[in-house]
Amino acid sequence: MTSKLFSELGLSEEVLKAIDRLGFEQAAPIQAAAIPLLKQGRDVVGQSQTGSGKTAAFGIPAVELADPANRAVQVLILCPTRELAIQVSEEIHKLAFFKRGLHALPIYGGQSYERQFHGLQRGAQIVIGTPGRIMDHMRRGTLRLDSVKLAVLDEADEMLNMGFRDDIELILQAVPKERQTVFFSATMPRPIRELIEKYSRNPESVKIEQKALTVPTVEQFYYEVDRRFKVELLERLIDLHDFKLGLIFCNTKRMVDDLVDHLEAAGYLADRLHGDMSQNLRDRVMNKFRKSGLEFLVATDVAARGIDVDDVQVVFNYDLPYDGEDYVHRIGRTGRAGRSGCAITFVSGRELYLIRQIERYTNTRIQRGRIPTMAEVEEARENVFLGRIRATLQAGDFKQQDRLVERLLAEGFSSTDIAAACLAQLQTGEEWGSQPGTEPHARPDRPDRESRRAPRGERPAPRRFDRPEPVRPSASRPEAPALVRASPPPGPAEPAESPMPGEASVAVPPAEGPAVVSENRPEPATPSPQPKKPKAAFRAGSARDRSSPTDKSLPPWLRGERGQPREQRDVRSSRRTSGEFTRLHLGVGAAMGVAPGDIVGAISGETGLPAQVVGLIDIRERHSFVEVAAEHARAILSRLNRTQIRGHRVRAKVA
């Protein structure tokens, strides 16, 4: 079946804006086939599997049909379970976002009647409910169906299996005969066909045909993972297999943008490709990808048409495609020109059964993958590192340093300790001539991925997959920053608090490190002129950011267990200089009640980056300035412009 864009289906401007807000651009096959028929007023019988996009296939015409000026029930949607009724109601609300005055009301058992009475009295043009509760309201006289124009039976076969046939017939007899009737069902047993013949008028059949296909040159795997942990799993798999060139597919433009921001913040060379980009920009991105100037291209199905790159090592289905045909098109972009390829799909929750449908469609077996542990990822990184060292030794392409080695041996160091120290220097990205606490010299060639990523102590700690967790690095609550107690050096390194039980803690050296801020000791800094009011310059986490022990403006991760502010490192690490910070202008200030902790919390919460990426914060009356690590400035700008601080839109730009 030919794919179509939503803009080609003749939809109203309000609905198109709602669809664009959700990030969709291409209609699923069932949507492209059913929506034009329903807009013409035809009865439709749709046969499609759950998860193929049929909710929008009848939801979009329902929103188009309903008249906001008429407060009577005009669309009735029957669902077998309360969970499905809630899901359909949420989808209808999103599709009707820009159609003012249009209300959708879910009605199901287990919810109080009073709430449903109030919703019906207020006037709901679209009612979504289970047959049993719909019948209850009909008997009570609180639900009138004499104005219904469209009746939809979603998962009709499931409702019959649950014994709702009599209720369904009574409901369909109560609605006007001139209505449109829509049946959606994964299967078409005899009872369904009998209902269709009895209550439909010359229905148009829409069935998504699937042809068996095989993809022999591509190894296929799927990983069952919660949606919150997809980013972490993606990074683990990339590092484990050391992929250098790959495609990542998402279903929405918004997810493409979010994922690219995450990957860039983590140090990967990634860029986006979706329908909101101009053709010139798409061409530039594609040329960069073909020339291996990118490691990963994140794209939607529509934007990815025409991608023809022979060296793609892996295709990630970050979001499960709508049907088997899209799946085959995606994974067919690897394993070309006689090469072998790899396709990895992430599934969560109820999506697992769709893998079986794709297996039947492709006539191949998709192997279940085991989520790698951090120990396995670290071992893989070490193997890659040792492989480079081994290749250098075998090629003999290095300068002899016998004189330096002999000097160290003469000082009493063993050869194994010397080699270990050199390897440690290489792993941290430092080179000969760099002093402790300074940035290593830039290499003329493109650095490897690990050297582009933030030092391990400054990256968010890896998440664990073996237990449910309420927090994700990209969630609204930020990671806990590295902390250090104000104790006189010298002494052993003191570990920072581990953000998750069972994870390794990060050691922070107290000596020769950044300035330590304490309640009883002023910040050791060069004296500077006192700023004029109402301007107030702050350094994130400094004593000036703690007006009281129970300052509610501070985010929870900057307060102690009983509301006491924790002692914290100066956010400018000793490995950075002021020239490595980018100054941003934020359109929020003291007049909006914005405090430094709000800005640090917004940056860490939206990007998942640690607080160490934030430098000097200068809050003015109507705006603020904040210094952030230059390497993360682009990702921080992108995320801040989509968030709010103290209820005000940020509007961030480079100062």
Residue 427 binned pLDDT confidence (cut-offs 50, 70, 90): low
The DSSP code sequence of 260-325 is HHHHHHTT--EEEE-TTS-HHHHHHHHHHHHTT--SEEEE-TTTTTT---TT--EEEESS--SSHH
pLDDT of 73 reads: 94
- Residue closest to 152 by CA, chosen among 186, 179, 133, 120: 179
pLDDT of 515 reads: 36
- HSE-up (13 A, CA, CB side) for residue 93: 10
Contact assessment for residue 103 and residue 116, using Cβ atoms and an 8 Å cutoff:
no
Q: Rounded CA gap, 110 and 562, in Å?
A: 40
* CA-based torsion, 21, 24, 30, 32: positive or negative: positive
Tokens of 370: 């085991």
Q: Would the pLDDT of 456 be above 50?
A: no
Which CATH superfamily hosts domain 4-207? P-loop containing nucleotide triphosphate hydrolases (3.40.50.300)
Q: Rounded CA gap, 305 and 328, in Å?
A: 13
Helices (H), 428-572: 449-452
Report, as an integer, the average pLDDT of 617-637.
Answer: 87
Helices and strands, counts by H and E, the chain: 20, 25
- Residue closest to 127 by CA, chosen among 145, 154, 109: 145
Q: Rounded CA gap, 382 and 104, in Å?
A: 56
Residue 51 binned pLDDT confidence (cut-offs 50, 70, 90): low
Which of 398-402, 423-427, 619-623 has the largest mean confidence?
Answer: 619-623
β-partners of residue 346 are 223
Q: Which position has the higher pLDDT, 392 or 505?
A: 392
pLDDT of 431 reads: 39
User: In this structure, how many other beta carbons lie within 10 angstroms of the beta carbon of residue 645?
Assistant: 21
Indicate the fold that domain 218-372 takes in CATH: Rossmann fold (3.40.50)
Q: Which residue has the tokens 């599709």?
A: 95
Helices (H), 29-112: 29-39, 54-65, 82-95
Contact assessment for residue 469 and residue 507, using Cβ atoms and an 8 Å cutoff:
no
With 0-12 / 13-18 / 19 or more C-beta atoms within 10 angstroms meaning exposed / middle / buried, residue 348 is: middle
pLDDT of 214 reads: 55
Q: Would the pLDDT of 337 be above 90?
A: no
pLDDT of 50 reads: 56
Q: What SS3 state is found at 128?
A: strand
Q: Would the pLDDT of 642 be above 90?
A: no
Residue 185 binned pLDDT confidence (cut-offs 50, 70, 90): confident
Residue 469 binned pLDDT confidence (cut-offs 50, 70, 90): very low
Q: Would the pLDDT of 483 be above 90?
A: no
pLDDT of 23 reads: 82
Return the percentage of the chain with pLDDT > 90, whole number.
25
Q: At 651, which amino acid appears?
A: R
pLDDT of 332 reads: 81
Question: Residues near 491 by Cβ (< 8 Å), separated by ≥ 6?
Answer: 510, 511
Q: Would the pLDDT of 550 be above 80?
A: no
pLDDT of 238 reads: 92
Region of poorest pLDDT, from 24-28, 207-211, 395-399, 453-457:
453-457
Q: Would the pLDDT of 592 be above 70?
A: yes
Tokens of 28: 């699923």
pLDDT of 304 reads: 64
| Residue 76 phi, psi dihedral angles, 5° rounding | -120, 125
Q: Rounded CA gap, 196 and 74, in Å?
A: 21
Residue 564 binned pLDDT confidence (cut-offs 50, 70, 90): very low
Q: Would the pLDDT of 15 be above 90?
A: yes
| Residue 377 phi, psi dihedral angles, 5° rounding | -65, -45
Q: Which residue has the tokens 């269709």?
A: 196
Residue 492 binned pLDDT confidence (cut-offs 50, 70, 90): very low
382-409 residue pLDDT tens: 888 787 778 877 777 777 777 888 888 8
pLDDT of 290 reads: 82
Q: Would the pLDDT of 414 be above 50?
A: yes
pLDDT of 213 reads: 55
Q: Would the pLDDT of 473 be above 60?
A: no
Region of poorest pLDDT, from 260-264, 396-400, 414-418, 494-498:
494-498
Q: Which position has the higher pLDDT, 456 or 151?
A: 151
Ramachandran assignment for 141, one of left (phi > 0), alpha (psi -120 to 50 degrees), beta (any other): left
Q: Rounded CA gap, 34 and 4, in Å?
A: 12
pLDDT of 528 reads: 45
Residue 444 binned pLDDT confidence (cut-offs 50, 70, 90): very low
pLDDT of 572 reads: 38
Q: Which position has the higher pLDDT, 151 or 483?
A: 151
Q: How far is CA 506 from CA 239, 292, 493, 605, in A?
A: 21, 34, 9, 20
Residue 14 binned pLDDT confidence (cut-offs 50, 70, 90): very high
User: In this structure, how many other beta carbons lie within 10 angstroms of the beta carbon of residue 619?
Assistant: 24
Contact assessment for residue 183 and residue 153, using Cβ atoms and an 8 Å cutoff:
yes
Report, as an integer, the average pLDDT of 344-367.
Answer: 85
pLDDT of 349 reads: 77
Residue 545 binned pLDDT confidence (cut-offs 50, 70, 90): very low
Residue 215 binned pLDDT confidence (cut-offs 50, 70, 90): low
Q: Which residue has the tokens 């909006």?
A: 592
Q: Would the pLDDT of 458 be above 80?
A: no
Q: Would the pLDDT of 535 be above 60?
A: no
Q: Rounded CA gap, 445 and 472, in Å?
A: 34
Tokens of 614: 């934030």
Residue 191 binned pLDDT confidence (cut-offs 50, 70, 90): confident
pLDDT of 652 reads: 87
User: In this structure, how many other beta carbons lie within 10 angstroms of the beta carbon of residue 353?
Assistant: 11
Q: Would the pLDDT of 505 be above 50?
A: no
Are 4-207 and 218-372 in the same CATH fold? yes
pLDDT of 502 reads: 36
Q: Rounded CA gap, 227 and 225, in Å?
A: 6
Region of poorest pLDDT, from 241-255, 326-340, 445-459:
445-459
Asked if omega into 490 is within 30° of 0 (cis), the reply is yes
Compute the mean pLDDT over every residue in the chain, rounded to the nearest whole number.
75
| Residue 384 phi, psi dihedral angles, 5° rounding | -65, -45
Write down the domain spans for the chain: 4-207, 218-372, 536-654
307-328 residue pLDDT tens: 767 788 999 999 988 777 788 8
Q: For the sheet containing 581-586, what is the strand order? A: 536-539, 614-619, 624-629, 581-586, 652-654
Q: Rounded CA gap, 610 and 596, in Å?
A: 15
Q: Which CATH number fits domain 536-654: 3.40.50.10890, 3.30.70.330, 3.30.470.20, 3.40.50.460?
A: 3.30.70.330
Q: Would the pLDDT of 524 be above 60?
A: no
